[in-house]
Every structure is written in C-alpha cells, then in structure tokens.
C-alpha cells in the first residue's frame, strides 16, 4: 500500500490529516510529530502571562487523531528526497510515496549575537511556559533584591505575537502585582522595533488603535531600535544599552531547522514553493512533495511579497496540498493554490481587540473593542474544528 506522510502536527499538518481521512484514499496516512501534543500557537501569549492554563490550548494527539492514522512521535532530522525517505532521530529512515511537509517554524534568535539562551521566544508551548515561570521568578526575586530591572520587560519585535503578548501582560499586571506583592505602578513594558514607525506592518488605522490601546496602558515604544546584541539582562541597540531582567523575543519565525540540511531552495529556512505548493527543484525533481504552513514561502501574486505565516494560510494550504496529492495518486494533475485572506484579527487583552476584515469584493471593514473578542472566539473555534 502506498504511503502519504505528513510531517508536523500544527494547523497545517493536522488539517491535512483530517482532510485525508475524510477522503479515505487507498493509501496509508502517516503523521510524524516531535511532540505528542498539539497547541494553539495563536494563544501562546495567554499562557506566557499566566492567564490561561496550557491544557486549555493543547490536546494529546493520541486522543484526537483518527485511529486509522499511523502516528509516529519522533523528531525529523533530515529528508532524503531522492529515495523518498525521512530520517528520524529514534526510528531511522521511514519511506513515503507522497509527502506533505508541514514542519512549522522556529525562533529567529540565531541572527543576533547572545540572543540564544538570554531571551524568551514565544514559538512553542514550552517557550510560553518558560516565559511564565521566568516572569513569576523575577517578580518573586524583586521582594528581596528591590532591583528595578526585575520589574522591567523588554519586548523585541512589534508583530502579531509581540502585540498580543504586550496587551495580555498589561491586562495581567494588576493581578501579578497583587499575587507577588510588587508595586504595579513600577512595572514597565518596553517595545523595541527596528522600523522608525512601530507596528508598520499593520494597516495604518489598526496601528493607530493599537498604539492608543497599548500606549494608554503604559507600553513604551522605541522605533528605529534594531537589536544588535543581547547579554543577560541587557539589550544592545547599537552602542546604547537597555536593562531588563525579562527579555521577550517576538521578531518573527524561521522555518524548521530541517530545511537547510535537506537541500531545499529556501529563504530564512522557509521553502520556496511553486504555485501548486510543490517544491522548487533544487537538486532534482521532487514531484510528490508539497510544503505548507510556517515552513513554506508563498508569494502574493499582486505584491510579490511572501505571505506572513498564519493559521488561516496554513489551513487553506492544507486543503490545496491534499487535493494535489490525491489527484496525483489517481494519475491527475495538480492545482494552483489561491489564498483568500479574510483579514487581520488581533487580540488586545481578554476583552478587546482590533480587526480588519476583507469581503468578497476586496473592501475592508475595520473594527475595534469588545466586539472583536467575539470574532476571536469564533476564529479560535474554527481553527480547532479544522484540525480535530
């Protein structure tokens, strides 16, 4: 029996598995993932600030995956495309007939000297738990040290995860101050953005609303502040230094570290794909492989820019990749991927948010406030139903 292998149990990988099961192909469906659980990456900031328990945003794969799927818990080391095999840390080589690579992303910290080990990324559930434990520890330390840097948080980056984390933290500060008996008024959150205008990636109106909300809550923004080096408790901006005993790294993600050792054509470990999500030929043709999710680089045909990684993109890519695999399985052709974004929805704490929604005619509606939280709840429900 032929084998369709899916790598990674994020939104892209799990939705691909769900769609494959629904289509009931005449092939074995195998899912390989490093961990035995899935977690909602869009809600990691809730765990990091201590507002949400990890169990609320994660589930055990063995309990949710269809019993007809072969689940392998192991770490992917390398992909050998020529012999159609994936090398695993414990299980060695496992062969496939068709591959959907959805390995996901990793932190971009290696680019900055000293960042690894001295910052708190927010890419995985373990990252969020480490951030949570760290914040609780420095607040505990403050009672003895009275070190003002224990009450200072530096956030490097101003994208989605940075904004979501800062908004959640600002909302949680009163509760944290009470729990650890520290002065809430002395707690500081600073955001360092390399662009002169922080939050420039967002729509200008959303940027205005976010700045009003976070600035009003006390977040201090620093534009034109490219981080050049990190030391324990210190952020270097060129020749200037900023001291904080909590440094959160939220500058974006790279693709999986498996990418550069597997011969892909890539940029920042994100695989450059053809318009049907198949692999751009690097060292021979790999016609039975599709790359989706955070590990893929798909360009917007209108702007030429790579779409930012997101759950909505991953889920739509999974639909296309599954259709293409099943078509090839039956001797057919592949189909072009067309992304239909529904807009940007961003939480600003547990009771508010901002959104820019796009309709079928390409027109936008902008929303802010409590009404956006209802959209976020519906969005999270949609994402969960797409994968289980």
Q: List, for residues 97-107, the tens digit of each pLDDT value.
A: 999 999 988 77
pLDDT recorded at residue 284: 55
In tens, the pLDDT along 222-258 reads 999 999 999 999 999 988 999 999 999 998 788 888 9
In tens, the pLDDT along 105-125 reads 877 666 789 998 999 999 999
Longest dimension (CA), the chain: 70
Backbone CA torsion sign across 376, 38, 122, 86: negative
Spell out the domain ranges in the chain: 3-34+74-107+253-341, 109-249
| Tokens at 123, concatenated | 């890419």
Q: What CA–CA distance (Å, rounded) separates 243 from 356?
A: 35
Mean pLDDT of 41-60: 95
pLDDT recorded at residue 146: 97
Please answer whether residues 165 and 250 qualify as being in contact, where contact means their C-beta atoms are separated by less than 8 angstroms. yes
Q: Answer yes or no: same fold for 3-34+74-107+253-341 and 109-249.
A: yes
* CATH number of the domain located at residue range(s) 3-34+74-107+253-341 in this protein: 3.50.50.60
Q: How many CB atoms lie within 10 A of CB 117?
A: 8
pLDDT recorded at residue 363: 78
Please answer whether residues 322 and 20 qualify as being in contact, where contact means their C-beta atoms are separated by less than 8 angstroms. yes
Enumerate the β-bridge partners of residue 80. 85
pLDDT recorded at residue 109: 64
pLDDT band at 282; cut points 50, 70, 90: low
pLDDT recorded at residue 187: 97
In terms of CATH architecture, what is 109-249? 3-Layer(bba) Sandwich (3.50)
pTM exceeds 0.85, yes or no:
yes
Query: Angle at Cα 383 formed by Cα 296 and Cα 267, nearest 5°?
Result: 10
Mean pLDDT of 353-369: 86
In tens, the pLDDT along 134-179 reads 999 999 999 999 999 999 999 999 999 999 999 999 999 999 999 9
In tens, the pLDDT along 283-310 reads 556 779 999 999 999 988 888 888 888 9
Q: Quote the mean pLDDT of the chain.
A: 93
pLDDT band at 213; cut points 50, 70, 90: very high
Enumerate the β-bridge partners of residue 364. 358
Percent of the chain with pLDDT over 70: 97
């Amino acid at each position: 029996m032929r084998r369709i292998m899916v790598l990674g149990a994020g939104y892209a990988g799990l939705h691909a598995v769900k769609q494959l099961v629904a289509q009931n192909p005449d092939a074995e469906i195998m899912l390989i993932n490093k961990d035995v659980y899935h977690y909602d990456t869009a809600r990691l900031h809730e765990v990091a600030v201590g507002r949400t328990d990890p169990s609320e945003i994660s589930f055990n794969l063995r309990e949710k995956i269809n019993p007809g799927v072969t689940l392998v818990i192991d770490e992917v080391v390398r992909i050998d495309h020529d012999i159609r095999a994936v090398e695993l840390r414990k299980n060695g080589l496992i062969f496939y007939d068709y591959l959907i690579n959805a390995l996901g992303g990793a932190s971009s910290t290696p680019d900055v000297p000293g960042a690894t080990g001295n910052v708190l990324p927010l890419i995985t559930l373990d990252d969020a738990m480490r951030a949570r434990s760290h914040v609780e520890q420095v607040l505990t330390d403050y009672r003895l040290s009275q070190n003002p840097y224990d009450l200072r948080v530096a956030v490097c980056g101003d994208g989605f995860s940075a904004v979501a984390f800062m908004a959640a933290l600002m909302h949680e500060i009163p509760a944290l101050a009470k729990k650890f008996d520290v002065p809430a008024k002395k707690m500081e959150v600073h955001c360092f953005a390399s662009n002169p205008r922080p939050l420039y990636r967002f729509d200008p109106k959303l940027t205005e609303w976010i700045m009003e909300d976070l600035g009003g809550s006390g977040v201090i923004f620093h534009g034109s502040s490219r981080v050049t080096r990190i030391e324990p408790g210190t952020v270097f901006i060129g020749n200037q230094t900023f001291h904080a005993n909590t440094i959160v790294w939220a500058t974006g993600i790279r693709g999986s570290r498996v990418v550069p050792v597997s011969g892909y054509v890539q940029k920042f470990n994100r695989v450059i794909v053809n318009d049907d999500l198949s692999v751009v030929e690097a060292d021979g043709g790999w016609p039975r492989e599709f790359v989706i999710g955070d590990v893929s680089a798909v360009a917007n045909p209108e702007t030429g820019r790579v779409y930012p990684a997101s759950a909505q993109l991953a889920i739509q890519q999974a639909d296309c990749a599954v259709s293409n695999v099943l078509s090839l399985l039956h001797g057919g052709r592949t189909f072009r991927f067309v992304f239909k974004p529904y807009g940007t929805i961003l939480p600003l704490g547990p009771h508010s948010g901002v959104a820019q929604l796009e309709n079928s005619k390409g027109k936008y509606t902008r929303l802010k406030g409590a009404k956006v939280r209802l959209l976020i709840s519906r969005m999270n429900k949609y994402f969960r139903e797409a994968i289980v």
